[in-house]
Amino acid sequence: MSEINMIPLIDVSLVLLIIFMVVTPFLVSSQIKVNLPKAVSGIPPDAEPVKIQITASKNFYVNDQSVLPEDLAGLLRRELASRKDPVVLIEADASVPFENVIRAMDASKSQGAGKIGVAVTSDKAAK
């Protein structure tokens, strides 16, 4: 009684099936064409940011103009209205409570700022 041993055939078939299952998603995703945007670092010279400065004594300044915290949104509205791509840069003293920074961020976002940045110094510059 001589029969053909099917076990090696089944083993090879299952290994090939697993290989095809693993490789197929990579083949499909590589055929999808996506036009990725170009990355640009820094702020273009024509898009100077509106600067909000918060001093250690909790005074607010918008582009070097003193402003009360409750009037911040109104002044930001006027400053951001004339800009094509409104960008806000917040420069806060390290000792300022974070709630003041959040207040400046909220006012900026509510008045239409497209991008909001927080200025920091690097460790090398601080030493």
pLDDT at 32: 46
Q: Is 110 helix (H, G, I), strand (E, B) or coil?
A: helix
Paired residues of 54 in beta bridges: 60, 92
pLDDT at 85: 82
Other C-beta atoms lying within 10 Å of the C-beta of residue 86: 20
Paired residues of 117 in beta bridges: 89
Q: Show Cβ contacts of residue 113 under 8 Å, excluding neighbours closer than 6 positions.
A: 50, 76, 80, 86, 87, 88
pLDDT at 37: 55
Note whether 95 and 70 are within 8 A (CB): no
For every one of its 127 residues, what pLDDT tens digit does the chain have, with 9 covering 90 and above? 688 899 999 999 999 999 999 988 777 654 545 455 565 555 555 568 888 888 888 889 888 888 998 999 999 988 888 888 888 988 888 888 889 889 999 999 998 888 888 887 665 544 5
In the chain, the domains with their CATH numbers are: 50-126 (3.30.420.270)
pLDDT at 30: 47
pLDDT at 31: 52
* pTM tops 0.75: no
